Chains A and B, each alone.
Chain A
Amino acid sequence: MAVLGSSIKRREDPALITGEGKYIDDLTLPGMTWAAIVRSPHAHARIKSIDTSVAKKTVGVVAIFTGKDIADSEHGGVVPVGWLLPDLKTPAHPILAVDKVRHVGDGVAVVLAEDRYTAHDAAEQVEIDYEPLEAAVDPKAATEEGAALVHEEAPNNIAFDWELGDKEKTNSGFAAAAHTVALDLRNNRILPFAIEPRGCLAHYDKNRGLTLRMTSQNPHVHRLLLSLASIALPEHKIRVIAPEVGGGFGSKIHLYPDEAIVSWCAIRTGRPVKWIATRSEGSTTDAHGRDHVTHAELAIDGDGKISGLRADTHAAMGAYLSTFAPAVPTYLHGTLLSGQYDIPAIYVHVTGTFTNTAPVDAVRGAGRPEATFIVERLMDLGARAMGLDPAEFRRRNFVSADAFPYQTQVALAYDSGNYEPALDKALEIAGYAQLRADQENRRKSPGEDGGKLLGVGLSSYIEACGIAPSAVVGSLGAQAGLYESAKVRVHPTGSITVYTGSSAHGQGHETTFAQIVAEKLGVDIDAVDVIHGDTQEVQFGMGTYGSRSAAVGGSAIVRSIEKIIAKGTTIAAHLLEAAEGDIEFEKGEFRVKGVPGKAQSWGDVCLMAYLAHNLPEGLEPGLEETSFYDPANFTYPFGTHVAIVEVDPETGEVEILRYIAVDDCGNQINPMIVEGQVHGGLAYGIGQALWEEAVYNQAGQLTTATLLDYAMPKAHQLPSYETASTVTPCPHNPLGVKGIGEAGTIASPPAIVNAVCDALSPFGVTHLDMPLTPERIWRAIHPGEDA
């Protein structure tokens, strides 16, 4: 059986199921101090004075620093933004606030103490006199007359104003349309909520520099940003290590002030410093997701073909621009608005706004769930307006299988796709025709089945992942390339260590990347180790996010393997006294084509590479190759999901009866891991659709900062999922893989909302904003009534 494509059990697991895995809070260093960050309780306020005298007297306190101490120091810096749009306003983001705080949780001072409890005690004793100011909270209202101003540099709180597509052509499409539908929606703000809180442990040595262990999805990116902007140490004097990381979901991509504060404290005091966020501290400071207010419209001709789509979105940036924040509602959102459909004209306008809230940045899916929600909700509204079944309306508008590569009206060129088979498969598994018949029967005899309303919702999604061609993202504002690196080191005895820039945090790279190497080199998988997450061991890396690890990181490994085989072929040809062109490498052997028995084993060639007793003239000893793989295009996974729900009209409660996910992520390296990613992605998206919302009140207080108020999905609320796949390999990477980490999160919110709106359609309900709480549903069924 081939190693590649097999559901091999994860080698990561034995340590994790026995408690031996070491996460950040499991690490200690001799002489370590604990940091507690004093944070603003106000959404917006002037800092009038800070008095640390009482706190400093607490037994066990080592030092207390304020924003001014950092600003006045040699190593003090700012938190940079890594994606620039034209005319983007980039107000400075000091690592500790100096004059003003701009969201609840903004850091004002840091306390170092000999232990965790004392640090938190003393933090309570730091007295700060604030002058509270009005807060801007809503992404749209923040731009209106009279709204509080978050940054003086950004009039009307507008961080950027961005558009894509042909406005005039789109407007003419609408003018000529037979039907139009419109949608006003709010894409609810969510917390990323990795179960492991963010944290870091910094240690500074004058000669060797700074070692920063931290919860990171991309240690090299963190090192680069720290060096460039935040702590003013040369890059080679910073080592960033990601130990086991307890989930990220985007939140551990970004550089936060906290890592810089802790690093600064370690440099200043010469002692190791550790900081671990408390849960509510994480909730108020982790970069949140979504928070869009959108008006969108679809134009349809008389034959049920879409003739245009336009959308206008206000997207919250929060109080400061987080690492990749400006990219999320623009290039990861506007570009996805063609969905799976052949749409001749699209125009999108996005206003990014500052608000007195935690920053908003990439959270699992990042822009693509928001885009898919717009498109797939409009598809249901369009189908209803045309009197067509939602499956038929989608089918009628799919980009056809023979139209690829397909150039959309919003910049992306889809390399491949075959949408109907995935839809067909999903409908078949669901028993779609029967479901519609059941629904019809229930509506005719509403007393049966306890009066519960049956709803069926489709979501035919596309995503752009495998992020991304460096030149393309560079032209769009990225301040980084988005390739990935891989070094394959073959040892003299033929075993192999792979160093990858894809830094995993639960995705199983150590297993799947070893599968790639074992397959391509014909060696035992146990002869391959995979190293990631340490800037000192791995040359460079862009990290794990955007469903990019297999497509970009995996492809980099393949490129290095190809170089290894090429050098091995040169050595084998020399030893076999044959021409290089006559050598073929198969199943761990270099063979002379057509001459049975004339071969050099993998082990013999590896050993000779290091013995160097008999190498071709001019060939260097050793067998190690590095590649930087820069993808030619994004990859375009797609699929169709079907949600089948029951709504109780008496209580407004939704029960998911079944959830069917048919996904096409191209070739699969490890189907077990692919399915696991789908499951987790679904729970994430279903959570947003039904329960989760980060709620700020008008004063800018986050009222859902703990699990008492933030409704993360629990086991009893979710079904077992029915998953299946189609396989349309990516044509432009050597593995034919596309990515699966975000598909479930992108597809599921509209599938659920479409299902609930379908159930409620007899009540005239066309749209409800997420989360679909019982109260929201009940009020839609009972307009004007009191509960």
Chain B
Amino acid sequence: MSVKIEVEVNGTRHEREVDPRLLLVHFLREELSLTGTNVGCETSLCGACTVKMDGLTVKSCTQLAVQADGASITTIEGLSPEGELHPLQQAFWDEHGLQCGYCTPGMILAAEGLLAVNPSPGESEIRESLKGNLCRCTGYHNIVKAIQSAAKGGA
């Protein structure tokens, strides 16, 4: 049995027949070849799979693709126009906010979600807001700096 869904991803509308149990992250990665969104834990705890759905940050590893029917989704690939960097992407680069880069797309999407509701967060607010996104490389120090720097630049 498959279910027809219609999803807008990064500004492009997609119509697909999907297995009802297909996870949103696998829909993005394997149906649409948008592999920037990563899977780290399959239990919505590490945040590597964070995307933006209808304005909210969600963990795409614990959403079904069918739940995204009719939704508008932004992944790391669609965060900025082709050839340009979003201020958060720029800030992660400038501040050495990544090492292996695996958590980075989710981390940037989570930070974007924070700045959307709180444009100038303090350090503790940033740290609290990143509870759902784990990084094993950076010790978070430069991730926090990058988000502060993007916020100052008016991201």
Contact = CB atoms under 8 A, between A and B. Distances in A.
Contacts, number: 172
Interface stretch (A193-201, A339-347, A528-536): A193-201
B36 to A, nearest CB: 2
Interface centre among A245, A505, A707 (most CB of B within 10 A): A707
Contacts of B85: 14, 17-18
B124 interface: yes
Given A17-B76, A247-B136, 9 more contacts: A10-B93, A17-B92, A20-B77, A197-B40, A244-B101, A246-B100, A246-B101, A676-B137, A707-B41
B53 interface: no
A23 interface: yes
A456 B136 CA distance: 26
Given A14-B93, A17-B89, A676 B40 contact: no
A716 interface: yes
A713 B134 CA distance: 8
Interface string B102-125: 111100100000000000000110
State the main secondary structure of chain A at its contact with B: loop
Contacts of A22: 35
Contacts of A249: 136
A26 B38 CA distance: 9
Contacts of B77: 18-20
A507 B98 CA distance: 10
Contacts of B144: 715, 720
B102 A676 contact: no
A672 interface: yes
B103 to A, nearest CB: 5
Interface residues of A, number: 56
B136 A18 contact: no
A279 interface: yes
A21 interface: yes
Contacts of A25: 29, 35, 38-39
Nearest to B132: A714
B3 to A, nearest CB: 15
Given A506-B99, A679-B142, A680-B137, A714 B93 contact: no
17 contacts: A13-B92, A19-B36, A19-B37, A19-B77, A23-B102, A195-B48, A195-B136, A196-B40, A247-B99, A247-B136, A249-B136, A506-B137, A679-B142, A707-B41, A714-B131, A715-B131, A716-B130
B62 interface: no
Contact of A682 (B21, B92, B128, B139): B139
Interface of B: 19, 21-22, 26, 29, 34-43, 45-46, 48, 75-77, 80, 85, 89, 92-94, 96, 98-105, 108, 123-124, 126-128, 130-131, 133-144
Interface in A1-56: 9-10, 12-23, 25-26
State the main secondary structure of chain B at its contact with A: loop
Interface string A270-283: 00000000110000
A683 B140 contact: yes
A708 interface: yes
Contacts of B96: 9-10, 672-673, 675-676
Contacts of B39: 25, 197
A718 B135 CA distance: 12
A682 B102 CA distance: 19
Nearest to B105: A19
B91 to A, nearest CB: 9
Contacts of B26: 116
A747 to B, nearest CB: 13
Given A196-B40, A279-B41, A506-B101, A707 B93 contact: no
Contacts of B76: 17-19
Interface in A220-274: 244-247, 249
